[in-house]
Amino acid sequence: MSRIIGAIYFAAFLPLLASGQGTQDSWDNLRALHVGEKIQVVDQKLRSYVGTFVGVTEEAISFQVGRDQVTIQRPDLLRVSSRERTRRGRNALIGLAVGAAAGAAIGGA
């Protein structure tokens, strides 16, 4: 019984533990972007830009929108997300196949 209560507490407090990432860590994640990668940038005024990543410094991020190079200062930035093609569909099919194989193996036994 105490294991169940412990699991419930863990599940309840997990989001609080996961949200502990600081702003410096988030800014450092931008260094994983590659020059030329498609990104979407949203500023504090909720204006959205889709462009090509150029570079990042401690103060700002730069990206190309059409022929214009845009630089947004760190305090004015709300969110940056990669627009590169995801593999969600492929991963879902792999999960489906593994689940079906496991179900067939358990059902056959």
Question: How far, CA to CA in Å, does 42 sit from each of 62, 78, 98?
Answer: 13, 6, 38
Backbone phi, then psi, for 22, in 5-degree steps?
-80, 170
pLDDT value at residue 61? 95
Q: How confident is the model at residue 2 (pLDDT cuts 50, 70, 90)?
A: low
pLDDT value at residue 21? 47
pLDDT value at residue 8? 61
CATH architecture of the region 22-87: Roll (2.30)
Q: How confident is the model at residue 102 (pLDDT cuts 50, 70, 90)?
A: confident
pLDDT value at residue 93? 78
pLDDT value at residue 20? 46
CB atoms within 10 A of CB 109: 5
Q: How far apart are CA 50 and CA 11, in angstroms?
A: 36
- Ordered by start, the domain boundaries in the chain are 22-87
- DSSP secondary structure string for all residues of 51-62: EEEEEE-SSEEE
Give mean pLDDT, residues 29-35.
88
pLDDT value at residue 47? 94
pLDDT tens column, 41-99: 999 999 999 999 999 999 999 999 999 999 999 999 999 988 766 667 777 878 888 88
